[in-house]
Structure 1
Amino acid sequence: MNYSKYYPIDVLNGEGTRCTLFVSGCIHNCKGCYNQSTWSPDAGELFTDQVADQIIQDLNDQRIKKQGLTLSGGDPLHPANVEQILKLIQRVKRECEGKDIWMWTGYVLSELNKKQKQIIELVDVLIDGKFVKDLADPSLAWRGSSNQVVHYLRKASVNE
């Protein structure tokens, strides 16, 4: 898996202060996408164990309390990303007490395969659906177009 950007402190991509990882690889190729540079699975840099370790360390850093991890892209559920995303989310749930996970994907829930559903079972908030330029609405919370849906899948267990 490759990633295009990692922000250890982010207040734009989900509720609260977060760590945000933009992965590479997207098959949806939405017209008007603001992140076209992430479409190729080979774009950006290789996601390594060291990057994963840094994310865990940043989530657990007590100097700036973070609510959780945001995964966007590209598409975290792209076939080239599924194994590493599952591994990362499992680590976050195991090693970062009380942190929630937000994820953006161009897929919709009904399209997900078994492995993708395994990931979603660990996600707290999922924003699904392709960006549709004709349905774009900048007033929408957490989504770019009105066809996208914000799914609050589980109540976050933030203990802070």
Structure 2
Amino acid sequence: MKIIKIFKETISDGFGFRYSIYFSGCTHYCEGCHNHDTWKGDIGRALDEEYMDEIVEEINSNYMLDGITLSGGDPFFNPAELLEFLKEIKARTHKNIWSYTGYTFETLLKDPTMRECLDYIDVLVDGKFQKADYDPDLYFRGSSNQRIIDIRESLENDQIITLEF
């Protein structure tokens, strides 16, 4: 897994004051993507133990953070590595986690590793960015087809529960 950039304090990638991590790699190739240089997955800094320790320290030392956001590329580009990252970051920070993905929630449920990742994510913004559905007035998403899903509520109720702003 490679990380292309980190925003240590942002209000653009989810509700509240967030620490956003952008991963390299994506197979969705959305027209109009604002991070198309991440598609190949070959740029950025490899996520090793030392880098993970740095990230955790930055998160835990900032008392103002409301949570962590994962974006990219697509964090689900390497689902097995994402799962290990999620387990560790959740255990070591206990923060609320949002994740963006070009996959739909329904697709993630069908893959055992991707499904297990959802156990560590609180909110999911799902679906490919669609240039034709772009709307600059939407909160926390780029196109109207994308959904902001409360993962815990959705899994508990066996139906998609979206958040509206």
State TM-score, norm by structure 1: 0.88
State whether residues 19 and 55 of structure 1, in contact with CA within 8 Å, keep that contact through their aligned partners in structure 2.
no
Q: 2:59 aligned with 1:59, yes or no?
A: yes
1:110 counterpart (97, 106, 109)? 106
Q: What do the CA deviations read for 1:96-136 (whole angstroms, capped 9, x no partner)? A: 23x10000000001212110111012100000000000010
Secondary structure of the 2:76 match is coil
- Cα deviation for residue 40 of structure 1 reads 0.9
> After the TM superposition, which parts of structure 1 deviate over 3 Å for at least 4 consecutive aligned residues?
none
Aligned to 1:77: 76
Residues in 2 aligned to 1:11 and 1:49: alpha-carbon distance in whole angstroms? 27
Q: 2:86 aligned with 1:89, yes or no?
A: yes
Letter in 1 for 2:103: Y
Residues in 1 aligned to 2:83 and 2:9: alpha-carbon distance in whole angstroms? 22
Secondary structure of the 2:15 match is coil
More helix by share: 2
Residues in 2 aligned to 1:85 and 1:58: alpha-carbon distance in whole angstroms? 19
Secondary structure of the 1:127 match is strand
Q: CA RMSD in A?
A: 1.4
Q: What do the CA deviations read for 1:73-98 (whole angstroms, capped 9, x no partner)? A: 000011xx22232122112221223x
Q: 2:139 aligned with 1:136, yes or no?
A: no
Secondary structure of the 2:152 match is coil
Unaligned ranges ≥5, structure 1: 156-160
- Cα deviation for residue 9 of structure 1 reads 2.0
Q: 2:93 aligned with 1:100, yes or no?
A: no
Secondary structure of the 1:72 match is strand
Aligned to 1:124: 122
Aligned to 1:158: none
State the identity as a percent. Answer: 37
State whether residues 2 and 45 of structure 1, in contact with CA within 8 Å, keep that contact through their aligned partners in structure 2.
yes
State TM-score, norm by structure 2: 0.86
| Alignment length (residue pairs) | 151
Unaligned ranges ≥5, structure 2: 154-165
Residues in 1 aligned to 2:2 and 2:51: alpha-carbon distance in whole angstroms? 11
Residues in 2 aligned to 1:37 and 1:49: alpha-carbon distance in whole angstroms? 25
Residues in 2 aligned to 1:19 and 1:54: alpha-carbon distance in whole angstroms? 13
Residues in 1 aligned to 2:116 and 2:53: alpha-carbon distance in whole angstroms? 22
